[in-house]
Amino acid sequence: MPRLLCAHAALFEAVALRDERYAGKASSLARALAQQYYEGLGSPSALRELAQGLIARGYLRSAELPLQLALFLDNWPDQALAQLAQAALKSGRPSLAAFYARTIRDPNDAAIRALRAQPYFPVTP
């Protein structure tokens, strides 16, 4: 659980605003989404739910923050992460695929190793 909760929420809001700007969204949900993020910081299931909603709405880089914490709080097996990386890649979400690929501890799949070798700038608190 992060110690600087407000700082985490502020970073989340900044990344959500960036996602909105890149997507050309007319109105902003960044503050409300940051509030949801803040409220779910101690719950892996709430963080996963938020991340799924973010991905569905097109907030791809923002989704990495709740996913990072959910993974930290609730360790996921490499096989599940590899499947998520491959699904993200197939659905045209390369940054999300790279995020999942980088969280795999021991990648044995060539496609996952190739994803890990590509340049990637993680969104980290």
Residue 67 has pLDDT above 60, yes or no: yes
Mean pLDDT confidence for 102-113 = 87
Structure tokens at 7: 């700082």
d(CA 85, CA 97): 4
Q: pTM of the full predicted structure?
A: 0.81
- pLDDT category, 63, cuts 50, 70, 90? very high
Whose tokens are 């994803």? That residue is 115
Rg over alpha carbons for the chain, rounded to the nearest Å, is: 14
> What is the reported pLDDT for 79?
92
- pLDDT category, 20, cuts 50, 70, 90? very high
Express each pLDDT in 41-62 by its tens digit.
989 999 999 999 999 999 989 9
d(CA 59, CA 14): 12
Residue 2 has pLDDT above 70, yes or no: no
> What is the reported pLDDT for 3?
63
Please report how the helices 78-90 and 110-117 are oriented relative to each other, as an axis angle in degrees rounded to 10: 70
Mean pLDDT confidence for 99-121 = 87
**Residue 77 DSSP code:** P
Quote the distance between the C-alpha of residue 19 and its chain's center. Answer: 12
